[in-house]
Amino acid sequence: MRLKQKTRLPCNRVFCFRGNETIINAVPFKKVFVLLLVVFSACSAPAQNTIVVPTATLAPATSVLDTAATISPTASRPTRAPSPTFAKPAIQTPAWFDDVVLYEIFPRSFYDADGDGIGDLQGIAQKLDYLQDLGVGAIWLTPIFASPSYHGYDVTDYYKINPEFGVEQDLIDLVNEAHQRDIKIILDFVAGHSSDQHPFFKDAYGNPNSKYAAWYRWLDDAHTKYEHFGSATNMPKWNQDNPEVRAYLLENAKYWMNTAGIDGYRLDYALGVSHDFWKAFRQEIKSINADALLLGEVWDSGLKIKPYYDNQFDATFDFPVYYDVMGSHDRAGASALLAQRGLNAFESTLRAETRLYPPGAQSVRFLNNHDTLRVMSQVKTACQLSAVECERHIIERAKLAATLLLTLPATPMLYYGEEIGMSGDKSDGDKTVREPMDWYASESGAGMTTWYRPATGFNQPDDGISVAEQQNQTASLFERYRALLALRAQHDALRHGEFVTIPFVGIPAAELSALAAYARVTDAETILVVLNAGDQAITATLDLSALGSDTITLHDLLAANTLAPAPAQNFSLRLAPRAAYVFQLEP
């Protein structure tokens, strides 16, 4: 949950830096090298689902690099090879989390199995094959426990599944079905506060003699004023300093580990709970399953995130890099995806995080979540072109964003509907970023949720934004996501490779701010990513000499073509506007 915006400033596991330069001294460069090139450019208007395909050529060619993936929509999905859990010198974290793509689901909006208009656990189970085909390896469910609100972050009974979502056995079945597909299930846990409808709070409110009087944080002797989450008076804060409260919350968390066999927790608003509590939480959960994931929501700077890796969390959400890319979580127009800020600003943040966080620390990188504008709303700007051209520009920019997300170090996270380009802003509070998952062109059909369908909603019939309209359509945003998840599963460099910044040569500062290039390197391969967020095509010269060869040959992994060899020190590429490229360096 979001309380207030903080400054930005997590990943230390797969790359290293010294000062302002990247050092690759732990992994020798040999055999196959894969290079990732991504180019970002400014865009100009709302769009739906059209796209053009540029092709890669060496400068001084006249054509631009092709950004459309040609991986067959019906190709079999690669099998993700899980990594063993290695002992880390500083902290022990679950190695499986490095190998997956995380997918956030707001259950109420995802898929409705019983026809009441509200998404549920059985509905999610029915869509596991869809998620497996997409390439998802772990699912985070926002709160599913009993609650009076639509969002569930004000819990009334931690031992009871919200009846609108199902019953306990439905969760057990979902976890079992997911595990059969090698998919992990992570639950949201709210340790900072309860609902004001929780029976313990109702008993203690206005009753200083209540058995639960010391379970909450009161501000007056009459127990009518109390601390609460932000401005939400319906969310009174637990008093975790009380051993009874601590034991109660820990037993709740252990119950679902033991009963349903879940794979870990996302810890809501971690800033509102003491470090001592989180240390106790880790000890209890890891005693049940040492490979369980503890993922903390620490919405703050790297300096504030750092202490939570001290025997507390395995991973945190990378809000610092998020703000480098997006600029704002609730206002569109300031994103690096629109070339409104330096596209490569995240590189210095990665260096800072590497110095701050201990070895083994894990991070989650994301473009949106249930508290932020959807990425599709972040890549829209005023557009003076035809509707078709405006739509094409937006889809190109969304594909560029996806390429950045899925080629950076750490674990990427998708927010449901991101893969089809669902939009969402804050025009109706948070509900507009939590609209029903769009499965069909007509906006109706089996499984479609209807709990929130405002006339001004972003979901509209036949708008090109649905699974049915994009699945198996080669140029669609969905198939680009699917192709990128497949590449990440196929190439170890994209999951574990060192991160190497690639410099541009002779590019004016005004044009350079819209560009980024970096490599992901392992002993066996090198991947190069190049991004152009600008609205103009550009001939860019890169210095690839750090990759260990005098002459470089690149194979475009998305367009499936190979470029002619060229000198590493002055490797020129003609980059399309709003384009992203993923290359493999050939031996």
Bridge partners, residue 411, by sequence: 364
Sign of the torsion formed by the C-alpha atoms of 312, 315, 318 and 319: negative
| Sign for the pseudo-dihedral over CA of 485, 490, 493, 495 | positive
Strands 184-189 and 264-267: parallel
Active site residues: 268, 297
Q: What DSSP designation does 418 have?
A: G
The answer to whether 193 touches 200, Cβ cutoff 8 Å, is no
- Calpha distance 28→42 (Å, rounded): 37
How many CB atoms sit inside 10 A of residue 222's CB?
11
Q: What is the CA radius of gyration of the chain?
A: 24
Burial of 225 (0-12, 13-18, 19+ CB in 10 A): exposed
CB 436 within 8 A of CB 458: no
By DSSP bridging, strand 498-501 and strand 571-575 are unpaired
Lookup: tokens for 528: 């190069």
Pairing of strands 538-542, 526-533: unpaired
Q: Please answer whether residues 585 and 562 qualify as being in contact, where contact means their C-beta atoms are separated by less than 8 angstroms.
A: no
Sign of CA dihedral 385, 341, 543, 353: negative
b/e map of 494-520 (b: 16 or more CB within 10 Å)?
bbbbbbbbbebeebeeeebbbbbbbbb
Strands 228-229, 232-236: pairing is antiparallel
527/498 Cα distance (integer angstroms) = 10
121 forms beta bridges with none
Structure tokens at 204: 């203690």
d(CA 155, CA 68): 45
* Residue type (1 letter), 232: A
Helix, strand or coil, per DSSP, at residue 369:
coil
